[in-house]
């Protein structure tokens, strides 16, 4: 009889572990939604600072159509971001020319050819490479690459699209390699075995079976690399020459959107048109990188649906 | 690879596959011990034995697919169609065009039915000159495995969307255009339901004569009804290899008798 009573008592008992469990659940929930809170928070903040300009001094045709970025001019203030947008795009494009062959090559080697210790140490090295601070890359661009480009192409200055593109490409390659390698790893081994059993050489197998099967993951690796290129600031600021210019060749200096914000924001009066214009650049960047990441995500999801 | 062709034409021997003193190690684990085994041309030979006895390993030596794993070491001799396939100058691509393989889980490539059929053919012959030629090859292969009527309207759909039975038939069909002599089958029906097993078994039985078929199976009833000869393996050794009905009716080894009566396995 007494046994039954004790057991009945235990049915609605709330002991320490019950409370710990509930607390942990709440904490995890907060951690989980914090990403959403931060994204929304950033967007609201950037928007609040930029919108005042967007609705008052902003001219769509000037912003996207003019190359005249003269925020500090006394009598003729203009905010034409075209050269900055083209600057960012050209550096990113150059970076992809460098990063795509490197990262896909590295991913294919690590994923399909390397085995055992080689493979593990390469993966660690690639991750290490991704952890190098961007200012260090900028420093390399400013000193080493600058000299090499001047010597190699016999031009007066080596801080240009080529320099920034190479630096940015090398910066973006590790993360692209990691994502691309994940995509290759996700291809079931039975496809490889089937192809090899039918007499495919390693390269035939990779080209005709593995790469097509991993296509979506590889595309999203490239897209994330592009997103990284658009957002990178310090290295581009240091290696691109930072002069407002529509580049006619890889040897022209340019200025990037991000670099403009970084270089100018500290010198503007809070609330001024210039301040608002820089935040508008920020909104624009935010939207672009958001769209790129979203596309990358959808592309990856695309495979799962099929 | 003139060598293989010559051997094929000049040597009309009865034996398609012969192993001599075949030993194999996965790392330090020895999976095959001095296996001497020969497979006669044009018949179905089944390999039976308990899990881990080395029957799949032996099968996978015949097209050297075992070597995908870097830690495999093989010693001894494997002759396919009179040619030592472990000789250093051997071209694996050629070996695998003569020796096709069907796996336990159907593994069509994640491309269309049509491309699956043409995959191996194009590896060995390059692209066809015309679409009509390709169409003929696809239709012939699919008809040979009795799959044409099922998939003729779905040739451009993903092969991975077919039923398991259709996938497995497709995996057999895609080997045929390169005209292999030997078909290796590693428990080809174990992922299929009984009805599908029956039709695939029937298909395999129909292919004998044109092809030498070596089939690994867990299913003794299948070995009994769908093979001409049967070999029993245990602990990496070849215990006995005889005509299927003899092996099942009058096994010479006690171990064989115990296994086929289901006392272990």
Which ranges of B145-193 does DSSP label H, i.e. alpha helix? 148-151, 164-173
Which ranges of A186-214 does DSSP label H, i.e. alpha helix? 189-197, 202-205, 211-213
Phi-psi region of A20 (alpha: psi -120 to 50; beta: other; left: phi over 0): alpha
Neighboring chain B residues of A303 at a CB cutoff of 8 Å: none
CA–CA dist A263, A266 (Å, integer): 7
Q: Are A253 and A83 in contact (CB under 8 A)?
A: no
Kindly report the nearest CA distance between residue A224 and chain B, in angstroms.
25
Kindly report the nearest CA distance between residue B242 and chain A, in angstroms.
28
Q: Secondary structure of A249-282 in the HEC alphabet?
A: CCCCCECCHHHHHHHHHHHCCCCCHHHHHHHHHH
Nearest residue of chain A to residue B61 (CA atoms): A197
Q: Please report where in the chains the tokens 């409370």 appear, as a residue.
A: A19
DSSP summary character for residue A233: -
Binary contact (A194, B120; C-beta < 8 A): no
Binary contact (B109, A197; C-beta < 8 A): no
Binary contact (A194, B158; C-beta < 8 A): no
CA–CA dist B121, B175 (Å, integer): 8
Q: Which helix (H) or strand (E) holds B229?
A: strand B229-234
Q: Please report where in the chains the tokens 């003899």 appear, as a residue.
A: B246
Count of structural domains, chain A: 1
Q: Are B123 and A204 in contact (CB under 8 A)?
A: yes
CA–CA dist A209, B158 (Å, integer): 14
- Sequence-distant (≥ 6) Cβ neighbours of residue B25 within 8 angstroms: B31, B72, B73, B74
Q: For the whole model, what pTM was predicted?
A: 0.82
Binary contact (A198, B171; C-beta < 8 A): no
Neighboring chain B residues of A212 at a CB cutoff of 8 Å: 110-111
Q: Please report where in the chains the tokens 């390169």 appear, as a residue.
A: B178
A118 touches chain B (CB under 8 A): no
A299 touches chain B (CB under 8 A): no
CATH code of A270's domain: 1.10.3720.10
ipTM of the complex: 0.86
Q: Residues of A10-48 as b/e, b for ≥16 C-beta within 10 angstroms?
A: eeeeeeeeeeeeeeeeeeeeeeeeeeeeeeeeeeeebbe
Which residue, among B107, B120, B141, B182, would best test binding to A if mutated, counting the most A CBs under 10 Å from its CB?
B107
CA proximity to A226, closest of A91, A128, A27: A91
Three-state SS for A70?
strand
CA–CA dist A200, B124 (Å, integer): 9
Supply the pLDDT for residue A9.
Answer: 56
Is the pLDDT at B168 greater than 50? The verdict is: yes
Average pLDDT for runs of 10 along chain A of length 306: 53 81 94 92 86 77 86 84 93 95 96 91 93 93 94 91 95 94 94 93 93 92 92 91 89 93 90 88 90 88 59
Supply the pLDDT for residue B11.
Answer: 47
- Out of B94, B95, B110, name the one closest to residue A191 (CB): B110
CA–CA dist A244, A241 (Å, integer): 9
Binary contact (A193, B108; C-beta < 8 A): no
Model confidence over B194-228: pLDDT tens digits? Answer: 888 888 898 899 888 889 999 999 888 889 888 99
DSSP summary character for residue B97: H
Which ranges of chain B does DSSP label H, i.e. alpha helix? 2-10, 55-61, 92-98, 113-125, 131-144, 148-151, 164-173, 194-207, 220-226, 244-249, 254-260
Strand partners, B18: B38, B79
Supply the pLDDT for residue A306.
Answer: 47
Which residue, among B66, B71, B120, would best test binding to A if mutated, counting the most A CBs under 10 Å from its CB?
B120
Nearest residue of chain B to residue A201 (CA atoms): B93
Q: Which helix (H) or strand (E) holds A25?
A: helix A16-55
CA proximity to A239, closest of A225, A249, A253: A253
Is the pLDDT at B3 greater than 60? The verdict is: no
CA proximity to A244, closest of A264, A227, A225: A264
User: B-side interface with A, Cβ within 8 Å?
Assistant: 63, 65, 68, 70, 92-97, 100-101, 103, 105, 107-111, 119-120, 123-124, 158, 171, 174-175, 178
Residue ranges with strand state E in A107-165 = none
- Out of B63, B70, B107, name the one closest to residue A190 (CB): B107
Binary contact (A193, B65; C-beta < 8 A): yes
CA–CA dist A85, A75 (Å, integer): 25
* Mean pLDDT confidence for B105-113: 93
Three-state SS for A227?
helix
Supply the pLDDT for residue B24.
Answer: 94
CA–CA dist A90, A247 (Å, integer): 8
Binary contact (B70, A198; C-beta < 8 A): no
CA proximity to A254, closest of A109, A67, A104: A67
Binary contact (A197, B111; C-beta < 8 A): no
Q: Is A47 among the domain residues?
A: no
* Mean pLDDT confidence for B25-41: 92
B102 Cα distance to chain centroid? 6
Kindly report the nearest CA distance between residue B205 and chain A, in angstroms.
22
- Out of A190, A196, A198, name the one closest to residue B105 (CB): A190
Binary contact (A196, B65; C-beta < 8 A): yes
Domain residue limits at A229: 78-305
Q: Secondary structure of A77-102 in the HEC alphabet?
A: CEECCHHHHHHHHHHHHHHHHHHHHH
Supply the pLDDT for residue B100.
Answer: 93
Q: Is A70 among the domain residues?
A: no
A200 touches chain B (CB under 8 A): yes
Binary contact (B68, A199; C-beta < 8 A): no
Q: Secondary structure of B29-55 in the HEC alphabet?
A: EEEEEEEEEEEECCCEEEEECCCCCCH
- Out of B63, B97, B107, name the one closest to residue A191 (CB): B107
Supply the pLDDT for residue B265.
Answer: 66
A197 touches chain B (CB under 8 A): yes
Q: Which helix (H) or strand (E) holds A140?
A: helix A134-140
Supply the pLDDT for residue B261.
Answer: 84
Q: Are B220 and B245 in contact (CB under 8 A)?
A: no
Neighboring chain A residues of B67 at a CB cutoff of 8 Å: none
Kindly report the nearest CA distance between residue A166 and chain B, in angstroms.
36
Supply the pLDDT for residue B191.
Answer: 86
Q: Are A169 and A160 in contact (CB under 8 A)?
A: no
Supply the pLDDT for residue A28.
Answer: 95
Q: Is A17 among the domain residues?
A: no
Kindly report the nearest CA distance between residue A118 and chain B, in angstroms.
13
Tokens at A287, concatenated: 């939207």
Supply the pLDDT for residue A67.
Answer: 86
Binary contact (B95, A209; C-beta < 8 A): no
- Out of A193, A196, A199, name the one closest to residue B97 (CB): A199
The third-level CATH classification (topology) of the domain covering B2-260 is Rossmann fold (3.40.50)
- Out of A115, A199, A212, name the one closest to residue B96 (CB): A199
Q: Please report where in the chains the tokens 């950033």 appear, as a residue.
A: A42
Q: Is A110 among the domain residues?
A: yes
Strand partners, A190: none
Measured from the Cβ of residue B147, the count of other Cβ atoms closer than 10 Å reads 23
Strand partners, B84: B79
Supply the pLDDT for residue A112.
Answer: 92
A208 touches chain B (CB under 8 A): yes
Binary contact (B119, A115; C-beta < 8 A): no
Q: β-pairing, A78-79 with A69-70?
A: antiparallel
Binary contact (B109, A204; C-beta < 8 A): no
Kindly report the nearest CA distance between residue B22 and chain A, in angstroms.
21
């Amino acid at each position: 009889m007494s046994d039954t009573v004790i057991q009945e008592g235990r049915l609605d008992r709330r002991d320490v572990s019950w409370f710990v469990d509930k607390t942990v659940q709440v904490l995890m929930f907060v951690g989980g939604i914090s990403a959403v809170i931060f994204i929304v928070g950033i967007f609201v903040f950037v928007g609040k600072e930029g919108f005042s300009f967007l609705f008052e001094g902003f001219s769509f045709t000037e912003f996207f159509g003019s190359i005249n970025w003269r925020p500090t001019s006394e009598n003729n203030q203009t905010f034409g971001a075209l050269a900055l947008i083209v600057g960012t795009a050209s550096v990113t494009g150059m970076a992809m020319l460098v990063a795509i062959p490197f990262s896909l090559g590295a991913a294919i080697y690590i994923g399909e050819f390397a085995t055992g210790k080689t493979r593990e140490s390469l993966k660690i090295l690639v991750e290490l490479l991704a952890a190098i601070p961007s200012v260090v890359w900028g420093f390399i661009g400013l000193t080493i690459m600058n000299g090499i480009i001047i010597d190699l192409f016999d031009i007066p200055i080596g801080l240009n699209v080529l320099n920034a593109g190479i630096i940015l490409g090398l910066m973006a390659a590790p993360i692209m390699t990691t994502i691309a390698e994940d995509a290759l790893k996700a291809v079931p081994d039975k496809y490889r075995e089937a192809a090899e059993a039918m007499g495919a050489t390693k390269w035939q197998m990779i080209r005709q079976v593995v790469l097509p099967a991993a296509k979506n993951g590889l595309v999203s690796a490239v897209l994330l690399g592009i997103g990284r290129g658009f957002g990178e600031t310090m290295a581009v600021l240091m290696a691109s020459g930072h002069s407002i210019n529509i580049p006619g060749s890889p040897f022209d200096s340019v200025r990037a959107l991000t670099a403009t914000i970084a270089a100018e924001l500290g010198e503007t009066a809070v609330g001024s048109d210039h301040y608002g214009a820089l935040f508008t650049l920020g909104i624009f960047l935010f939207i672009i990188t958001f769209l790129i990441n979203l596309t990358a995500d959808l592309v990856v999801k695309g495979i799962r649906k099929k | 690879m003139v060598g293989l062709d010559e051997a094929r034409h000049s040597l009309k021997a009865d034996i398609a596959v012969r192993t001599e003193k075949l030993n194999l190690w996965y790392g330090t684990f020895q999976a095959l011990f001095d296996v001497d085994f020969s497979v006669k041309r044009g018949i179905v030979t089944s390999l039976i034995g308990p899990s881990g006895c080395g029957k799949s390993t032996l099968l996978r030596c015949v097209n050297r697919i075992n070597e995908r794993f870097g830690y495999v070491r093989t010693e001894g001799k494997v002759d396919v169609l009179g040619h030592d396939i472990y000789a250093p100058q051997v071209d694996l691509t050629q070996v695998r065009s003569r020796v096709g393989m069907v796996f336990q889980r159907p593994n069509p490539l994640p491309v269309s039915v049509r491309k699956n059929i043409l995959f191996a053919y194009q590896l060995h012959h390059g692209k066809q000159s015309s679409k009509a030629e390709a169409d003929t090859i696809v239709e012939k292969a699919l008809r040979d495995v009795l799959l044409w009527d099922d998939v003729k309207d779905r040739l451009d759909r993903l092969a991975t969307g077919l039923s398991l039975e259709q996938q497995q038939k497709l995996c057999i069909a895609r080997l045929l255009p390169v005209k292999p002599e030997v078909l290796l089958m590693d428990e080809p029906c174990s992922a299929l339901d009984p009805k599908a097993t029956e039709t695939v078994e029937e298909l395999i039985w129909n292919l004998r004569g044109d092809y030498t078929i070596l089939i690994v199976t867990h299913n003794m009833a299948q070995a009994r009804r769908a093979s001409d000869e049967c070999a029993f393996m245990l602990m990496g050794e070849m215990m006995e290899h005889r005509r299927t009905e003899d092996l099942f009716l009058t096994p010479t080894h006690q171990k064989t008798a115990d296994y086929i009566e289901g006392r272990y396995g």
